[in-house]
Structure 1
Amino acid sequence: MSVSTFAVAGATGRLGCHVVEVLAERGHRVVPMSRATGVDVITGQGLAEALDGAEVVIDVASWHASDQGAATEFFRTSAGNLQEAGRRAGVARIVMASIIGVDKATAGFLVAKKVHEECLLSGPVPVRLLRAAQFHEFVGQLLDWRQGDVAYVPALPSQLVACRAVAEELVDLAIAAHSPGMPVPEIAGPRREILAEAARLLGARRGVKVVGVDGSAIPDAELAADGAFLPGPHAKLAGPTFQEWLDAQL
């Protein structure tokens, strides 16, 4: 396998750190891009220098909150900057991490991710998408939104997946031969989980009581309950179950 140079947007984030690790393990040159490394995909600071000599960009930069408007603006701006800087640098392609079900979403953060996809795909540099299920690590965020010692977590289905498994699939997609006409690839964990039940497992270790709720207060709860954000039949199922992943954290 030849050595390539990959620039990773969002390199210090939850998923980005795994992408950097996988690329390094496979012997590739990695240019980590984040504000911590002096590269800002919103202002463009340091972007041209970081992409100089890069063959592929892996975009895993994300917005830190669920507000649709702010997230949409972040993704629209970052996509435009990555496309323009990538074109100037002669980047061969951009590989982006997205979320299963964004094409069905009508509100909230997933709509912002749909705009992210559209903005990247409309640019001059070819783009490959990977849609992933919610991460195992996401369950910890649900516990952080607690009231006192109680976390109210939607009892909605998901096929939770480990960040490491998603990172490996992103790298595979980045180096694979192009397959025109194929559906957008998806990756999810090995089995269906209920978010509230997964949160109870983690909550028991953190001393947090978890109460399952119907999720009606969150965007597209009815769609989620009907399985709209679960993987399709062509999805790759990979990595540990939530329980296996949790046990490995000890």
Structure 2
Amino acid sequence: MRIAVAGGTGWVGRLVVDAVRAAGHEPVTLARSTGVDLISGSGLDQALTAIPVVIDVSNVSTINRRRSEEFFGTATDNLLAAGQRAGVRHHVALSVVGVDRVNWGYYAGKRRQERLVLDGTVPATVLRSTQFYELAAQMLASIPGPVAVVPQMRIQPIAAHEVARCLVDLALADPAGRAPDIAGPQQLRMSDMARRLLRSRGSHRVVLPVRLPGATGRAMAGDGLLPTAPGPRGNQTFDQWLGSPAAQKTTGRTR
């Protein structure tokens, strides 16, 4: 089967492309480098010809509410419209656990994406995932200097490659609407993850946890980002991830 991966050249997208191949199917990458622009819609109709399944892991790095809503709204509208014209039978979208409980600018865009996908005419599945282990490395890389200021966050993180495999499994099954949330095997605090990652790299940087203001900060430091119901759980622990090649080469930005 040919499976289109929107955002397939991005960090998570490459993992999904690998998971599609590992499952014995042919990935078709939807990205500007392959002649497809999700925002303008250019190239989408041609790219989705004879494609039965779409997995959308496209992303934008922003905490600005308007920019997030504009990106996810426009990209999702274009993907769904082109998918309907092409006869796509299953549209799978990746979202974030807690988007309905944490009023964060980026999450506003994910909420809009979820509504469009679940209310659309193309049969669909939405998978909410907790934050990835890789987020700790990306936060540290984005904060220069001897002191790393990280937000107070209580999360149940998961290895990104396990989420990629779950997305492919869902894509090969029947559309499920809101799928059970996927999360990692243990609850952790972002500040502890950052410290342990720095120690594993021999760094002496100081980690300073800071609570974000208002209800958003309280929700992130509390249980706003934790799963609230049973669902699939990853197997790789954070300590195991620290010893893997992924922990040493993580770059870029993600959720």
Normalised by the length of structure 1, the TM-score is 0.92
Change (3 A) 1:111 1:153: same
Point out where structure 1 has 5 or more consecutive residues left out of the alignment.
none
* Structure 1 residue matching 2:102: 3-state secondary structure: coil
> Does 188-197 or 144-153 show the bigger shift?
144-153
Give % identity.
Answer: 38
142, 145, 148: which one aligns with 1:145: 142
Question: For each residue in 1:98-119, what CA deviation from the matched residue of structure 2 results, as whole angstroms up to 9, or x when unmatched?
Answer: 0001122323211221111112
Query: Contact 1:156–1:214 (CA<8 Å) still a contact in 2?
Result: no
Moved over 6 A (4+): none
Following TM superposition, by how much is the alpha carbon of 1:60 offset from its aligned partner in structure 2, in angstroms?
Answer: 0.3
Is 1:211 aligned with 2:207? Answer: yes
| Length, aligned pairs only | 245
Following TM superposition, by how much is the alpha carbon of 1:246 offset from its aligned partner in structure 2, in angstroms?
Answer: 1.4
- 2: CA distance between counterparts of 1:42 and 1:33? 12
Is 1:202 aligned with 2:181? Answer: no
Question: For each residue in 1:146-204, what CA deviation from the matched residue of structure 2 results, as whole angstroms up to 9, or x when unmatched?
Answer: 24222111232111111100001111111123457xx5311111101110110112223
- 1: CA distance between counterparts of 2:65 and 2:214? 12
Matches within 5 A, 1:93-242: 93-179=90-176, 184-204=179-199, 205=201, 207=203, 209-217=205-213, 220-242=216-238
* Structure 1 residue matching 2:125: 3-state secondary structure: strand
Following TM superposition, by how much is the alpha carbon of 1:40 offset from its aligned partner in structure 2, in angstroms?
Answer: 1.1
Aligned to 1:89: 86
Query: Contact 2:158–2:183 (CA<8 Å) still a contact in 1?
Result: yes
* Aligned residue type for 1:248: S
* Aligned residue type for 2:53: V
* Aligned residue type for 2:210: D
Aligned to 2:252: none
Aligned to 1:28: 25
* Structure 2 residue matching 1:96: 3-state secondary structure: strand
75, 79, 94: which one aligns with 1:78: 75
Point out where structure 2 has 5 or more consecutive residues left out of the alignment.
249-255
Normalised by the length of structure 2, the TM-score is 0.90
Change (3 A) 1:155 1:206: farther
* Aligned residue type for 1:239: N
